[in-house]
Structure 1
Amino acid sequence: MHLGVAEPMRECEYSQISTRSSTPMESPHKKRSLRKKWQAFPGRNKFYCDGRIMMARQTGVFYLTLVLIVVTSGLFFVFDCPFLSSQLTPAIPVIGGVLFGFVLGTLLRTSFSDPGVLPRATPDEAADLERQIDVANGSTSTGYRPPPRTREVVINGQTVKLKYCFTCKIFRPPRASHCSLCDNCVERFDHHCPWVGNCVGRRNYRFFYMFILSLSFLTIFIFAFVLTHVILRSHSIGFLSALKDSPARYPLVE
């Protein structure tokens, strides 16, 4: 097996879904008959931009996340930043713009990237592995599903038990798990996050962490300066009138 059996210590480098033919000199008729890897992908993911963007099947909550961030930040830049820039410092919209750009970039990077999907076994590999398991267990064919299968390997002098995935037909590496929503085994699987529209695993966990951290900073930043705007305006026009001049408060309160 290629993953987690013969070489369990080697990090599984699941190359991003290929978008190029391995034989560029083929005839045009033969190229049209070939299917790219992302077109024959067995999971439940959706692909865009010729396979360069990979997302989960359910993406409605992701678009809601995107709209909330854009609308909240847009209201802040339109209604609060002009006053704060003139009364306090022009650095406020600059810092807010940098935070907004970083939040948007890390969100898209988390949502559109491969989280660490482990390739499934080929039919020949799966059949060979099934034969090895049957011989090792001495099992006979029955009408019931066999019990969960495991394989013990030694890593750094410690015995680690690998679990078998009946869907992907592989022994998963440590900390890998099968996502029922995407129908893939993901390396270092953390969870499936509907807010970003993707699984969170080995390849996009750092971007997910940076997204959560930067979004927290952006939320605190906007809330603090919206409050500052209301307080400063209330000295001259009253508290209620100041609230009307700062509609960016509504998404924050809700």
Structure 2
Amino acid sequence: MSAVMITRKVRKWEKLPGKNTFCCDGRVMMARQKGVFYLTLFLIVGTCSLFFAFECPYLAVHLSPAIPVFAVFLFFFVIAMLLRTSFSDPGVLPRALPEEATFIEMEIEAANGNVPAGQRPPPRIRNVQINNQIVKLKYCYTCKIFRPPRASHCSICDNCVDRFDHHCPWVGNCVGKRNYRYFYLFTMTLSLLTIYIFTFNIVHVVMREYPVLVCFFTLWSVVGLTGFHTYLISLNQTTNEDIKGSWSGKNRVQNPYSHKNIIKNCCEVLCGPTYPSVLDRRGLTKEELSASASNSSNPTPQTMNTSSREEQPPASKGPPLASPDTDAETALAKDKTH
């Protein structure tokens, strides 16, 4: 038995590190924990289905047929933004190749020098200047890279995400540079849809004089989340930066990404260019597989012998026939004897 190396081509998403899951041949990228995302989808579809089944027929007849039409438009827009946020690459940064990681380690060791035993090595930080403000680039020990500005490592997905905002279990994905605008549009249109359904529920109850107890939790939470992200967009700030207090003004540290203008900040976040993914998920790479193979001795002669045996005519069952030359020799010997 001997090992044979077989090379086959695979998609790069099959070899990507981290804790993400991929579907549709790498076109769909999500986190592994998707249970809350299915709950979100169920709540939206279930609530709207009840509204369409019970309130809309009565309101369309007694008020206006435009009420269910606009509700359907909002519903499909909310679902589209939810799927766009959940199924896209949020801005995951590729990890360093082994040779790149080795080179970076050598650079860090050369810059820090020999650290005495018992002392902690200095932090691995690089300083860059953005809008006359010094910004520190932190080194990621998992991805072996210096993270770009505003990037952070998500502990749930185990990947560095560019312009990391937060990991949202409700959409089943990280929210970052490439899908933040779709996340904001999702929360904003969901707030409008919630207010719309809530308002016409009240109208339907008043018109039919039904006593009912209304739950304000969904309306308060969704609208509050939309207001919080509207505040962040106006400052050109992320949730991660707001929680950590990165630009709180301490030590005269100001937000270098803010334009000091609400309109400019909103335009940059919501109307800026769509950044391409840097992962190349559907690209091809080679993978080597080892397979065992049996070494058979002299396979060719066995084939030849088999073929020669097959070509020989079958032997006759009767006695062998004497040839004419053999009969002549026998008669000559008898004459010599006599």
Shorter-chain TM-score bucket reads 0.7 to 0.9
Q: Is the 8 A contact 1:134 1:140 kept in 2?
A: no
Deviations 1:203-222 (A, max 9, x none): 00000000000000000000
Deviations 1:69-110 (A, max 9, x none): 000000000111000000000000000000000100000000
Task: Say which SS state the counterpart of residue 34 (structure 1) adopts.
Answer: strand
- The counterpart of 2:201, out of the listed 226, 231, 241, is 226
| Structure 1 equivalent of residue 165 of structure 2 | 190
- The counterpart of 2:81, out of the listed 106, 109, 117, is 106
In the TM superposition, residue 43 of structure 1 has moved relative to its aligned partner by 0.8
For 1:13-52, list aligned pairs within 5 A: 33-52=8-27
Change (3 A) 1:253 1:162: closer
The runs of at least 4 aligned residues of structure 1 exceeding 6 Å deviation read 141-145, 249-254
Change (3 A) 1:86 1:195: same
Name the CA distance, whole Å, in 2 between partners of 1:147 and 1:198.
34
Change (3 A) 1:144 1:97: farther
| Structure 1 equivalent of residue 49 of structure 2 | 74
Deviations 1:213-249 (A, max 9, x none): 0000000000100111111111xxxx34xx5xxxxx8
| Structure 2 equivalent of residue 163 of structure 1 | 138
Q: How many residues align?
A: 213
Q: Is the 8 A contact 1:223 1:252 kept in 2?
A: no
Q: Which amino acid aligns with 1:216?
A: S
- The counterpart of 2:152, out of the listed 167, 177, 189, is 177
Change (3 A) 1:143 1:82: farther
Q: Is the 8 A contact 1:72 1:252 kept in 2?
A: no
Task: Say which SS state the counterpart of residue 35 (structure 1) adopts.
Answer: strand
| Structure 2 equivalent of residue 129 of structure 1 | 104
Change (3 A) 1:151 1:40: same
Name the CA distance, whole Å, in 1 between partners of 2:67 and 2:90.
35
TM-score, normalised by the number of residues in structure 1: 0.78
Determine what percentage of the aligned residue pairs are the same residue. 63
Q: Which amino acid aligns with 1:169?
A: K
Name the CA distance, whole Å, in 2 between partners of 1:97 and 1:203.
27
Query: Does 2:35 match 1:60?
Result: yes
Query: Does 2:189 match 1:214?
Result: yes
Q: Structure 1 stretches of 5 or more lacking a match? A: 1-28, 244-248
Deviations 1:172-229 (A, max 9, x none): 1111100000001000000000000000000000000000000000000001001111
Alignment RMSD (CA, Å): 2.1
Q: Which amino acid aligns with 1:188?
A: R
Task: Say which SS state the counterpart of residue 107 (structure 1) adopts.
Answer: helix
Task: Say which SS state the counterpart of residue 95 (structure 2) adopts.
Answer: coil
Query: Does 2:143 match 1:150?
Result: no
Q: Is the 8 A contact 2:78 2:189 kept in 1?
A: yes
Task: Say which SS state the counterpart of residue 129 (structure 2) adopts.
Answer: strand
In the TM superposition, residue 160 of structure 1 has moved relative to its aligned partner by 2.4
Deviations 1:94-135 (A, max 9, x none): 000000001000000000000001111000000000000000
Name the CA distance, whole Å, in 2 between partners of 1:103 and 1:125.
42
Name the CA distance, whole Å, in 2 between partners of 1:67 and 1:141.
58
TM-score, normalised by the number of residues in structure 2: 0.59
Q: Which amino acid aligns with 2:186?
A: F
> Which has more radius of gyration?
2
